[in-house]
Amino acid sequence: MNSPTNCHLCGVGKLRALEAFSDFQQVTSDCKPWPSGGKKACCEKCGTTQAVIDEAWKEACHRIYSSYTVYHQGGGKEQPVFDANSNAGTPRSLKLLNKLTQEIDLPEDGRALDIGCGNGNFIRSFSAVRPKWRLNGAEYNRLCETEVLSIAGVEGFYSGELETIPGPFDFVSLIHVLEHIENPVPFLKKIAALAPNATLLIEVPFFRDNPYELLIADHATHYTPNTLANILQAAGYSIRAIHTDWILKEISAVAMAATTAPTTTVVNPDEELATAVDAVAFLDKVRTHAREIRSRAQAFGVFGTSIGGTWLYSELDGKIDFFVDEDPSRVGKRHLGVEIVSPSQVPPGSAIFMPLAERVARDVVKRLQSASPAEYHYLSTSAA
């Protein structure tokens, strides 16, 4: 076992701590407040930004996962991706599959495995896009087994070790999974053994475009396209495509288990560290800026009830008047005891801070400002 001061990805690099991070309140990946004191660092060798994997981190993850809820504010429904122009919400996984089928030739039938399938949102979209496929889901607990098995085309649900799943598969997906995995290289090698000829689709958050992702206490690794490519190659995969524009603020990668030695992506650890330091500085500015706005507003709201909104609520000691959310399944409910209103219900003259990735915030403002009587504020990442 490596000492906690060694990188959990390459195993050899020493970690350079992001000291300022431990002062931030944190959030769990299922959007619940989590106390400050988290430790994040960047590897001096492979450049990967990561949680320091020590006993405290493992204990925190154990507590987080033992009471986990998927998208609990929306009652289990998948978060839609809002189109900047039409205001139409498309499930994120359907949008991802549409991009994928434009990029690669996905056959009409085959056998697929979605690892970390949750309540089956990706499988449901896959079934709609490729109805002839035999679909399988894997998840560490069996809470959603019945729900997943009821989706058209699903032939199996697995819980437990990857080695026990009967392969092979033609397609394997890891949607918001790899960032949780403590040792991604051996994990990816196990997948290659289970499905040696499969196309692998990986979706992870991109913290440069969405610094709020750093605040997630149970994320083991915070990827950039270069560090993700590096880890895939270290596990013996060759990269078919890697994109940061398929889904806003996320990295989408398509890879194949390599038959020849994969090339290695050159990572500059100093550049990677600078990206992480910038993200931490951005979060600090957001906190200061939001406090200033709240101190002079008649009424103060926080936009969004996911990671950024939950974090800002904690940093402001819960002293906010309302949450604003565009997702109709959340409006009218409460998050952390605070009412959730739609943009059209915002009281005139109030100020709203948007702890959202800049590109997302810009689109929301464009859509809402003319129709809403409130001031909307956000911080540009380039201002950090």
Q: Smaller CB distance to Zn ion: residue 94 or 231?
A: 231
Query: CB under 5 A: which stretch of 42-50, 152-160, 204-212, 330-338 binds Zn ion?
Result: 42-50
Our finding on whether 148 is near Zn ion (CB under 5 A) is no
Least CB distance from residue 14 to Zn ion, whole Å? Answer: 9
Least CB distance from residue 12 to Zn ion, whole Å? Answer: 7
Query: CB under 5 A: which stretch of 43-51, 132-140, 149-157, 197-205 binds Zn ion?
Result: 43-51
Least CB distance from residue 201 to Zn ion, whole Å? Answer: 24
Binding footprint of Zn ion, residue count (CB under 5 A): 7
Query: CB under 5 A: which stretch of 45-53, 233-241, 251-259, 353-361 binds Zn ion?
Result: 45-53
Of residues 18, 27, 43, 194, which one binds Zn ion by CB under 5 A?
Answer: 43
From CA 198, how far away is CA 254, in angstroms rounded?
10
Of residues 46, 115, 154, 331, which one binds Zn ion by CB under 5 A?
Answer: 46
Q: Smaller CB distance to Zn ion: residue 9 or 276?
A: 9
Least CB distance from residue 225 to Zn ion, whole Å? Answer: 16
Q: Smaller CB distance to Zn ion: residue 10 or 94?
A: 10
Q: Which three-class secondary structure string do you get for the chain? A: CCCCCECCCCCCCEEEECHHHHHCCEECCCCCEECCCCCEEEECCCCCEEECCCHHHHHHHHHHHHCCCCCHHHCCCCCEEECCCCCCEEEHHHHHHHHHHHHCCCCCCCEEEEECCCCCHHHHHHHHHCCCCEEEEECCCCCCHHHHHCCCCEEEEECCCHHHCCCCCCEEEEECCHHHCCCHHHHHHHHHHHCCCCEEEEEEECCCCCHHHHHECCCCEECCHHHHHHHHHHCCEEEEEEECCCCCCEEEEEEEECCCCCCCCCCCHHHHHHHHHHHHHHHHHHHHHHHHHHHHCCCEEEECCCHHHHHHHHHCCCCCCEEECCCCCCCCCEECCEEEECHHHCCCCCEEECCCCHHHHHHHHHHHCCCCCCEEECCCHHHC
Q: Smaller CB distance to Zn ion: residue 13 or 91?
A: 13
Q: Smaller CB distance to Zn ion: residue 115 or 232?
A: 232
Kindly give, in sequence order, each residue whose CB lies less than 8 Å from that of residue 188, ignoring residues fewer than 6 positions away: 178, 200, 231, 232, 235, 236, 237
Least CB distance from residue 46 to Zn ion, whole Å? Answer: 3
Our finding on whether 51 is near Zn ion (CB under 5 A) is no
Which residues, numbered 75-114, are part of the site for Zn ion (CB under 5 A)?
A: none
Q: Smaller CB distance to Zn ion: residue 43 or 113?
A: 43
From CA 66, how far away is CA 9, in angstroms rounded?
25
Least CB distance from residue 16 to Zn ion, whole Å? Answer: 10
Our finding on whether 52 is near Zn ion (CB under 5 A) is no
Least CB distance from residue 49 to Zn ion, whole Å? Answer: 10
Q: Smaller CB distance to Zn ion: residue 5 or 164?
A: 5
Q: Smaller CB distance to Zn ion: residue 88 or 266?
A: 266
Which contacts (CB < 8 Å, 24+ apart) does range 130-134 have?
Answer: 130/106, 132/108, 133/109, 133/171, 134/109, 134/110
Q: Smaller CB distance to Zn ion: residue 45 or 134?
A: 45
Q: Smaller CB distance to Zn ion: residue 14 or 319?
A: 14
Which residues, numbered 288-317, are part of the site for Zn ion (CB under 5 A)?
A: none
Least CB distance from residue 43 to Zn ion, whole Å? Answer: 3
Our finding on whether 228 is near Zn ion (CB under 5 A) is no
Kindly give, in sequence order, each residue whose CB lies less than 8 Å from that of residue 102, ignoring residues fewer than 6 positions away: none
Our finding on whether 13 is near Zn ion (CB under 5 A) is yes
Query: CB under 5 A: which stretch of 13-21, 28-36, 177-185, 232-240 binds Zn ion?
Result: 13-21
Our finding on whether 53 is near Zn ion (CB under 5 A) is no
Binding positions for Zn ion, rule: CB under 5 A: 7, 9-10, 13, 43, 45-46
